[in-house]
A = this chain, B = another copy of it.
């Protein structure tokens, strides 16, 4: 047991001045102690993740309404860029489904379509999102994500996933090309005839993928295979399914003979560095969408990074993540790719395949580079239906209806926020939906803080302690009202305090002296001060006094700059509530 007197506690300071460079390049930290063992883990995880990245990259580019190569390009330079700068050791940055549907929504706006060249628009969107993240990093606005509540984020994710599934179901059977954004647009495209061959390919791929999930893993575990082998086999599902589907298309010439939609020619070789994205009008029009993409990409990436970091006791530094993700998005723009973020399923695959560091992602990026350079013509015959199946399986787990029910049962307000955001996304679209959710939760939060906790207190007999008369057996005085306000006084809550006092004085007309106990009041803003002056005036007119006790130093300093304390006379400022009770009680 230790005895303390006044002790200093330093507030958290996230940054140390040592290792300034290592701070901005976390890779330096882990490379110093990099071992052979680390490399083995990273190599295996890198290969497995690359196997997942190829079909995902193509699929998400098509989901976004772009050429397939834009998803592949987004898996090389940006992935490597994050590996150098990111604080997460296992986050897999590249094309992701939620960003893809947001890109699709942004590019489907009539004024953007009117300006033509969708690829250029997508590149501008990525660049602008990247710059936005860097700007947030410079302004140290990483904490901005604290203003998006989890229910809003969960509702948004579920809604976006439903939109994606809606858009992909049409692809499963070659119905019509989806150009969604608004859910209604998608649904209208249904049931205009379908292609039976495409449907067969789609459903078969879907079955294979579902089989490669839980069922196969369970089987292999029963066969007592080593865990790494199980991971390797089960994660090859997408590639195998794509391979078989593509083989069928090529062998039977299903594209030309039966009209099965395929990916089409993918240009070979490295993406040439592309700096041709100067269109001021597009930059201006895409600004709102890029802000949303930056926000969501950042929030989702940090959330995913935290999951794996928590499992290993590592630390994610939000502001550095903004820098890393911002740089990755600029990198994707420069190399002609689509906007990127950390992907949940890919990161979990990378992590469970044994990735120790971002070396795994450097390896994956290398493999993608090789694939793009030498094997791009293998991608031309991939049927879109197979990709749609991959997307549907990947995003299905993002629709979390049970989460809504769970939230609803725990906190009605949060449940409503989650449901409203989900419906908002489905009915109003991606950006308006999430805005609605954010505004709703912030407004309700403001409303809550406008009703501070206030307690009428009395003295616990034979002590100098003053407690809530509703919860303790306390002494009170006939002419004295002791009121403790448990929050700083600001423009949002001062009128609640006014009403509370007026009501209390109405109920107890005998009161002659009111003492406001300021133990928890850390600040009084200008609006609150004016209101206190008015309360004091009113009390004085009816022959009562207003007094203050236990005000903190900074609050008193501020009040001493005004003539409020002089106005209080004969009311007083007491150091302790006990003094006030002795003198006025």
Contacts and interface: CB of A to CB of B under 8 A. Distances in A.
Contact of A9 (B2, B414, B456, B523): B456
Contact of A537 (B310, B453, B488, B490): B310
A566 to B, nearest CB: 15
Contact of A6 (B471, B477, B487): B471
Contact of A149 (B414, B470, B526, B537): B526
B526 A151 contact: yes
A1 interface: yes
Contacts of A233: none
B2 A491 contact: no
The winner among A2, A146, A495, A538 for most chain B CB atoms within 10 A is A146
A385 B6 CA distance: 69
A-B interface, 10 closest residue pairs, ranked by CB to CB distance from nearest = A149-B491, A12-B503, A414-B526, A150-B527, A149-B527, A146-B495, A407-B526, A4-B469, A411-B526, A449-B449
Interface string A415-442: 0000000000000000000000000011
B1 A475 contact: yes
A561 to B, nearest CB: 6
Nearest to A453: B522
Copies in the complex: 2
B442 A446 contact: yes
A349 to B, nearest CB: 22
The winner among A414, A499, A558, A562 for most chain B CB atoms within 10 A is A414
The winner among A5, A409, A473, A525 for most chain B CB atoms within 10 A is A525
A410 B442 contact: no
Interface string A498-532: 01101110010000000000001011011101100
Interface string A529-545: 11000100110011000
A529 B410 contact: yes
B446 A1 contact: no
A207 interface: no
A38 interface: no
Contacts of A558: 410-411
A450 B148 CA distance: 12
A502 B495 CA distance: 37
Contacts of A410: 526, 529, 558, 561-562
A370 to B, nearest CB: 39
B491 A525 contact: no
Contacts of A537: 310
Nearest to A519: B486
A446 B441 CA distance: 11
Contacts of A507: 10
Contact of A525 (B413, B476, B500, B525): B413
B411 A12 contact: no
A445 interface: yes
17 contacts: A1-B477, A4-B469, A4-B473, A6-B473, A7-B470, A9-B456, A9-B470, A12-B503, A147-B492, A150-B530, A306-B534, A313-B538, A410-B562, A445-B491, A445-B492, A448-B523, A465-B465
A310 B538 CA distance: 7
A256 to B, nearest CB: 52
Nearest to A449: B449
B313 A2 contact: no
Contacts of A474: 4
Nearest to A403: B526
A523 B458 CA distance: 25
A313 to B, nearest CB: 6
B450 A146 contact: yes
A116 interface: no
A182 to B, nearest CB: 21
A522 to B, nearest CB: 6
A534 to B, nearest CB: 6
B530 A478 contact: no
Interface string A134-157: 000000000100111111000000
A559 to B, nearest CB: 9
A585 interface: yes
Given A4-B458, A146-B494, 5 more contacts: A146-B450, A147-B446, A148-B491, A410-B561, A445-B449
A2 B478 contact: yes
A272 interface: no
A497 to B, nearest CB: 11
A443 B507 CA distance: 37
Contact of A526 (B150, B495, B503): B150
A375 B407 CA distance: 69
Contacts of A2: 475-478
A524 B496 CA distance: 22
A478 B4 CA distance: 12
Contacts of A306: 534
B6 A470 contact: yes
Contacts of A147: 446, 450, 491-492
